[in-house]
Structure 1
Amino acid sequence: MERNSTAGGAEDLLMEGKISKLRAGSLHKHELAEAMEVEQEGLVEHQPLEQDDLNFEKWKPKPKPKRTLHEKIEDLKTYLWNAETKEFMGRSGKSWSLILLFYSALYIFLAAMFGGCMCCLMWSISPYTPTYNDRVMPPGMTMSPHVDTAHGFDIAFNASDRSSWRKYAKALEAQLRPYDDAVQERRNILCERNTYSMQDNLEESAERKACLFKRSWLGECSGMKDKDFGYSKGKPCILLKMNRILGYLPGQGVAVNVTCGLKKGSTDILGEVLYYPDNTFNMRYYPYYGKLRHVNYSSPLVAVRFTGVQYDTQLHVQCKLNGKGIINDSPTDRFLGSVSFTLEVGA
């Protein structure tokens, strides 16, 4: 019994030894294979490049073959209409229909939105009176003749030289044509003097009556008797007009008047100054209701005639508006309540 047990133990030890050797051998083979792979990679890395690898020309893109004009035309025809795929400019009929439908819907929506915004805007404002009036309430003043826009309000002429003053006479004649007596009597009505012509009791859209202003009221400066407006005699006329301001009542119950004089120097060289029909802007021409309601409105005028100007002397003349609420000495706006010009008369 003991012998058998001893023999069995020896066999077990022998078997374990064989197994350990086999394991050691397999591990050795695996390590050997890994080492060989590493060595092989090193050899590959240090292996010199072949001549074919140094030929970089083969890596360059090959030039496209030149196409003839006929081929280009054929490609263009195919692009415009491909009979095989039934495509027009690279798209099928369904694709084009979807694109046209999308952009049509988009632009119709944008147009409708813009139209709606404009309708809301026009509905919210009045065409007769501005919602916000940012105009300068004190009125400005302009003069005529004004023929040389490059040099401002300058009047220079020789009384004996018709060509030197003819342009001034033509400008005055053109401005006074709408004030002809027959035209004014046909279009406008005679209003009461020295009172505002209030017509606020009418509907907003109703037309307002305009007060007539006859050309004949300007006397020597009307151009009816003297077609030259005094320029041929060395006694020139000018016309002054106050700017229109919607709903404005100048003078606050007292008519605004005009005075003309020299900016600097003695008033003797300017001579006598005459005003037609007088030197005021009568209150009956105010307020102004806008061109949509005051259709035939004619702005009142004040004609000024210089009867004794010293010849060959350049005079710096200024005409001013005077009245309540009037500003005529603004340092930044030379047309606010006044107008300045140079006057030089030669024999």
Structure 2
Amino acid sequence: MLFALFPGHLVPDVEQLMVGFVGMDRDRDRAIFLSVEVEVLATVLTTTCPLCFAGLILLFYLILYMFLAGMFSFCIYGLLLTLSPYTPTYRDRVSPPGVMIRPYLHGFTIAFNVSEPSTWTPYVNSMHHFLQAYDDNIQEEKNIECPAGQYFVQDGAESKEKKACQFKRSQLQNCSGIEDPTFGYSTGQPCILLKMNRIIGYRPGYGTPVSVNCAIQKGNESALKSVDFYPGNGTFDLMYYPYYGKLTHVNYTSPLVALHFTDVKKNDFVPIQCRLNGEGIVNNVTNDRFLGRIIFTLSIGM
């Protein structure tokens, strides 16, 4: 008690106040002594051994950053443990497939003169190079024959290597480059290959094969009079889906649809749009020219 009670009065307890003041003096003296000690030590280090002082600072930051790097590495390691190397964890934002064409040399304008082989030879070489993996003997050696018209679903462990269905070059018929090594470019009837982009686990068409159609994108529709589709009626058969990823679907070759432009207006720029058609396919997004469709230009000179 710092105050003694008297009848009607509060009187300070002098003895306890003195003890408190003495304790405060001791704490203050101790704090002053420690601060002086630290100041003297810092002065000694900076004047007699500046390298030692700098070394202590560097050691502190080295330990600090090593600790932070260790924590960051541990967090990344923990995150990677939750991810599968075979299948993407989050696929709800994956759009329907886009479309690309071959040959693809200098953009989406295929221009050449029939009478000048040097203008169309690069396109022919590009087609042959792209179709090497589709050679019949390679497909027969690496892949298997599958029943058409149904998805090729493969069960088992996620890491198990998956089999792939054959897609032979000969299925492209007049656009295979077997009978006509120039793919029609030497006669002004060029072939163009269409392929869908790969999406792991995607099953296009909801049980119905996705088909392809081509038309004039803008302008006179009579500029494009005839297009032949291979194989068959220009569809992507279901047996090539789903795709399981490059780690397990090692020998997978994407199915193709060949477009044989047998009657196109010559000596003019003809803009053409080819669309995918099927359940779940999106092909009308104005700001994405590759989603479910492809737009390119043919310019064939004689």
Tell me the TM-score normalised to structure 1 length.
Answer: 0.69
Deviations 1:137-185 (A, max 9, x none): 3221111111113xxx111111110111112112212211111122222
Cα distance change of structure 1 residues 127 and 319 upon mapping to structure 2, 3 Å threshold: same
- Indicate which of 117, 121, 129 corresponds to 1:174: 129
CA contact (8 A) 2:216 2:223 kept: no
Higher RCO, 1 vs 2 (CA within 8 Å, ≥6 residues apart): 2
Partner-residue secondary structure (3-state), 1:272: strand
Unpaired stretches in structure 2, ≥5 consecutive residues: 1-46
> Would the aligned equivalents of 1:140 and 1:336 in 2 still touch at CA under 8 Å?
yes
Higher mean C-alpha deviation, range 277-286 or range 174-183 = 174-183
Q: Encode CA deviations 1:257-294: one digit per residue, 9 max, x unaligned.
A: 00112124554432321111120000000011111121
Deviation at 1:295, TM superposition (A): 1.4
1:105 correspondence with 2:63? yes
Residue 209 of structure 1 aligns to a residue whose secondary structure is: coil
Partners of 2:150 and 2:77 in 1: how far apart? 40
Measure how far apart 1:120 and its partner are. 0.3
SS where residue 191 of structure 1 aligns? coil
Q: Which residue is equivalent to 1:22?
A: none
Counterparts of 1:264 and 1:97, CA distance in 2: 73
Task: Name the amino acid aligned to 2:126.
Answer: A
Unaligned runs of 5+ in 1: 1-84
Q: Does residue 192 of structure 1 match 2:147? A: yes
| Cα 1:101/1:269, change in 2 over 3 Å | closer
Residue pair 1:137, 1:248 contacting (<8 A) in 2 also: no
Shift of 1:96: 6.0
- Taking the aligned partners of 2:185 and 2:109, their CA distance within structure 1 comes to 14
Alpha-carbon distance, 1:313 to partner? 2.3
1:249 to 203, 206, 220: 203
Task: Quote the Cα distance in structure 2 between the aligned partners of 1:166 and 1:132.
Answer: 44
Separation in structure 2 between the aligned mates of residue 220 and residue 182 of structure 1, nearest angstrom: 19
Structure 1 match to 2:158? 204
Q: Alignment partner for residue 269 of structure 1, among 223, 230, 248?
A: 223
Residue type of the alignment partner of 2:203 = L
* Cα distance in 1 for residues equivalent to 2:250 and 2:184: 32
Of Structure 1 and Structure 2, the greater strand share is in 2
Quote the offset at 1:256 in angstroms: 0.5
Q: Which AA in structure 1 matches 2:110?
A: I
| CA–CA distance in structure 2, aligned partners of residues 100 and 269 of structure 1 | 75
What's the CA shift for 1:124?
A: 1.2
**Offset at residue 97 of structure 1 (A):** 5.6
Matched-pair contact (CA < 8 Å) for 1:154–1:343: yes
Q: 1:240 aligns with which of 194, 202, 214?
A: 194
Specify the alignment match of 1:148 in structure 2. 106
Which one of 245, 255, 264 corresponds to residue 300 of structure 1? 255
Read off the aligned partner of 1:310 and give its amino acid letter.
K
How far the C-alpha of 1:104 sits from its partner, in A, is: 3.9
Distance 1:345 1:104 in 2: 67
The structure that has the greater radius of gyration is: 1
Q: How high is the sequence identity, in percent, across the aligned residues?
A: 52
Alignment of 1:38-117 (within 5 A): 90-92=50-52, 95=53, 98-99=56-57, 101-117=59-75
Give the secondary-structure state (helix, strand or coil) at the position aligned to 2:152: coil
1:127 corresponding residue in structure 2: 85
1:218 maps to amino acid: L
Q: Report the CA distance between 1:135 and its aligned residue.
A: 4.3
- CA offsets 1:229-282 (integer angstroms, 9 cap, x no match): 110111100000011111111111100000112124554432321111120000
CA distance in 1, matches of 2:109, 2:145: 35
Q: Distance in 1 between matches of 2:299 and 2:51?
A: 78
1:91 offset after TM fit, Å? 1.8
Residues in 2 aligned to 1:164 and 1:335: alpha-carbon distance in whole angstroms: 26
Tell me the secondary structure at the aligned position of residue 161 of structure 2: coil
| Matched letter for residue 91 of structure 1 | L
1:326 equivalent in alignment to 2:284: no
- CA 1:105/1:147 → structure 2, altered by over 3 Å: closer, same or farther? same
Name the SS of the counterpart of 1:306 in structure 2: strand
